[in-house]
Amino acid sequence: MNPQPSIQMPGQWSTVAPTVDWMFYFIYWLSVVMFVGIVATAMYFVVKYRRRPGVKAEPTGHNNTLEIGWTVAPVVFLVFLFHFGFKGWMELRVPPGDALVIRVRAKKWLWDFEYPNGMHSVTDLHVPVHRAVRVVLSSDDVLHSFFVPAFRIKQDAVPGYYQTAWFEAVHTGRVDLFCAEYCGTGHSAMHGNVIIQTQAAFDRFLAEGAGPRQGETPELWGRRVAQDTQCLTCHTIDGTPSVGPSWRGLWDRTENLADGTTAHVDENYLRESILLPGAKVVRGFAPVMPTFQGTLQDRQIDALIAYIRSLH
């Protein structure tokens, strides 16, 4: 299994990748051979049977050997393709019984990963290497699609329905994770990484939880939370309004709300806006922010508030 990408394919980072690639290249080269063969034959006939003065077109009878030949030969290929295609599909659909289960919730516009110990991470999915992982996918709003090219898996996340996919990573490192279903303004920002770690490093990641790093101030931790949680997809920190109000100068301001009332931006207003984004919508902005209830812990919300306060 080669972790280096080729000109056509990303690197092979999962157990199923070589099977998928083998099938892909088989169909690819079969198509090349068929294309060249058919076009060459057509060109040959065009020349051989072109209209010439004095030569009259005459219908010929049919050729049983030829007709049976060109019927049976493709059938053999199709049965072969079906057999290996179905086998590969079953491998992709049926996870091993002892797979580690990670709950994945997609929403506009982030990925929220929940690990077996209840810990969450946003944007980046951490997994142990050489261990089957089953992701249980759902969406909180519209269709999204969980796509990890290096694992050769793609599965839609559907509102109100669970979908599953599984993989076993074979190298440690970092590969791309995309949303592969257009889901609105922030679709292109629904991009993260799968971080494949040794079992020991993965256990450490789970144990440390989502706390601050050694010596990190609440403001700096808050900035990291904002980046990891994709807040900055919709909120700028330079004063320019985007999908939502900018955080620059937000603190201590009095906002005009969509319902005609006003609100003073303090700790309680920010906390409520993170957990219940629809409660106090600022005039001029659409009520599109997802809730972070259950995604962010109280201490992370404190850190975010400290960061927004520092952008005064």
Binding-site ranges for ligand CUA (CB under 6 A): 106, 109, 144, 179, 181-183, 187, 190
Could you tell me which of 150, 151, 144 has the C-alpha nearest to residue 104? Answer: 144
Minimal distance, residue 181 CB to ligand CUA, in Å: 5
Question: Is the Cβ–Cβ distance between 165 and 156 less than 8 Å?
Answer: no
Q: How far apart are CA 312 and CA 310, in angstroms?
A: 5
Minimal distance, residue 21 CB to ligand CUA, in Å: 26
Q: Which own/partner contact pairs does 22-31 have at CB distance under 8 Å and 24+ positions apart?
A: 23/84, 23/85, 23/88, 26/81, 26/84, 27/81, 30/77
Minimal distance, residue 290 CB to ligand CUA, in Å: 11
Residue 16 or 106 with smaller CB distance to ligand CUA:
106
Q: Which residues contact 171 (CB under 8 A, 6 or more apart)?
A: 1, 3, 13, 129, 196
Residue 184 or 211 with smaller CB distance to ligand CUA:
184
Residue 134 or 187 with smaller CB distance to ligand CUA:
187
Minimal distance, residue 95 CB to ligand CUA, in Å: 23
Residue 109 or 221 with smaller CB distance to ligand CUA:
109
Residue 147 structure tokens: 């796509």
Q: How far apart are CA 176 and CA 148, in angstroms?
A: 6
Residue 77 or 182 with smaller CB distance to ligand CUA:
182
Minimal distance, residue 17 CB to ligand CUA, in Å: 23
